[in-house]
Amino acid sequence: MNQPVQPPVFEVGRIRADFPLLGTTVNGKPLVYLDNAATTQKPRAVIAALVRYYETINANVHRGVHTLSQRATDEFEDARETVRGFLNAASPREIVFTRGATEAINLVAQSYGRTFLRAGDEVLIGEAEHHANIVPWQQLRDSHGTVLQVAPINDAGELDLAAFTKLLSPRTKLVAIGQVSNALGTVNPVAEIIRMAHAQGARVLVDGAQSVGHGPVDVAALDCDFFVFSGHKVFAPTGIGVLYAKAELLEAMPPWQGGGDMIRTVTFEHTQWNDLPWKFEAGTPDIAGGIGLKAALDYLAGLDFTAAARHEHDLLHYATTRAAEIAGLRIIGTAKDKVAVLSFVVAGVNAQDLGVLLDSQGVAIRTGHHCAMPVMTHFGVAGTARASFAFYNTREDVDRFFAALAKALEILA
Ligand code: PLP
């Protein structure tokens, strides 16, 4: 008789052992780290890659003929190839290293926006965007006369697709949309959004800052024009991030910063730009960060990402069920399609106070507006408390979180 096929067990205990900080204490209590949407912890493999780089390689890239410089260059460019594979981009020429998602969006706004958008052209974003995907488009509007359109969300925190469709028109030249909302956890239907935008002739930038840590991304299948993310949200160091863009766009775009590395020749009369992607990488890059990012992506490649996502969904479901037991707790963001983010307010309780009291019990959550003030305005709150999970969290973490929350609420009552 055929045995039913069991899904692979996700061995969270073994995975936690790879993340040294998870085994530490904070304020005398074992750490429960639930601020993964802000930044993720780093596996030993990433930390080791940074130490190995500084202990055995450290040299500048693209500049020296000496052995260390060549090794640093080879490893940095190898990291670019790993990012290409991670995103399924066609070529490493399409992978520009930046400081993070914020810098990557600013690069697109400054270079693509100022060159290809005209006064009156529309940039369409969503109401739940992170400030990093709002402010650069406002700056472009203010300096350049473009129009900023905002597609609303509904009260579950989902993008109102009907309203989005209405706002989309031949005047829309660029759609900039988060794949996952950091404040709410909502997953946006970006494939559908890209199809609709392309049908109107608009380019699409996908902000993948909150999606890359929760599942595979395929820019070729999505057919997005730009995709940005930050290394530190995907278990890599801070200071390194990525702009993916179709090569034809990068070819046509002017550099946004000038300096070393982005040039081929310089005279006082004229400068010739370097090839892709270095045309967009003026100055010494975060070499160790790039190498650390490769180590993080290699680490993820060794995980069963589908099982990890299933585990995270189990945590979200469990946490959501437990949240319903708390009097006065209101979840902010109840989209049907969500990653493991539990944003909430408790009637009569200041989120900041909750955060401080949870911290005293070793539980790290984020409180405030989460760099998404328009979302707070939509829901009529000043801020929320947010527990955000990664695949290394456990049901015990959820239990400790709710125990700490109950205690905090008792103190604040
Ligand atoms: N976009 C989203 C959805 C984010 O959550 C964040 C950071 O929280 C950013 C952009 C900006 O990322 P960074 O600060 O790493 O540049």
Low-confidence ranges of the chain (pLDDT < 50): 1
**Of ligand 1's atoms, which has the minimum distance to the CA of residue 233?**
15
Q: Which two tokens stand for residue 281?
A: 């990488």
Q: Are residues 145 and 17 in the same domain?
A: no
- Please give the residue range of the domain that contains residue 185: 47-301
Q: Residue 1's pLDDT is what? A: 45
Q: Are residues 199 and 81 in the same domain?
A: yes
- Specify whether 371 is catalytic: yes
Distance 370 CA to ligand 1 centre (A): 10
Specify if 372 maps to a domain.
Answer: yes
Q: Are residues 107 and 197 in the same domain?
A: yes
Q: Are residues 104 and 231 in the same domain?
A: yes
Distance 1 CA to ligand 1 centre (A): 51
Specify if 3 maps to a domain.
Answer: no
Q: Residue 4's pLDDT is what? A: 55
Q: Which one of 301, 329, 363 terminates a domain? A: 301
Distance 28 CA to ligand 1 centre (A): 31
Q: Residue 393's pLDDT is what? A: 98
Specify if 189 maps to a domain.
Answer: yes
Q: Are residues 31 and 66 in the same domain?
A: no
Q: Which one of 254, 271, 301 terminates a domain? A: 301
Closest by CA position to 128, among listed 330, 337, 377, 367: 377
How many separate domains does the chain show? Answer: 2
CA distance 91 to 216: 18
Q: Are residues 293 and 309 in the same domain?
A: no
Q: Are residues 244 and 322 in the same domain?
A: no
Q: Are residues 234 and 291 in the same domain?
A: yes
- 81: buried, middle or exposed (CB in 10 Å: 19+, 13-18, 0-12)? middle
Specify if 7 maps to a domain.
Answer: no
Specify if 6 maps to a domain.
Answer: no
Q: Are residues 159 and 22 in the same domain?
A: no
- 79: buried, middle or exposed (CB in 10 Å: 19+, 13-18, 0-12)? buried
Specify if 1 maps to a domain.
Answer: no
Q: Which two tokens stand for residue 368?
A: 């405030």
**Of ligand 1's atoms, which has the minimum distance to the CA of residue 38?**
8
Pairing of the two strands 29-30 and 25-26: antiparallel
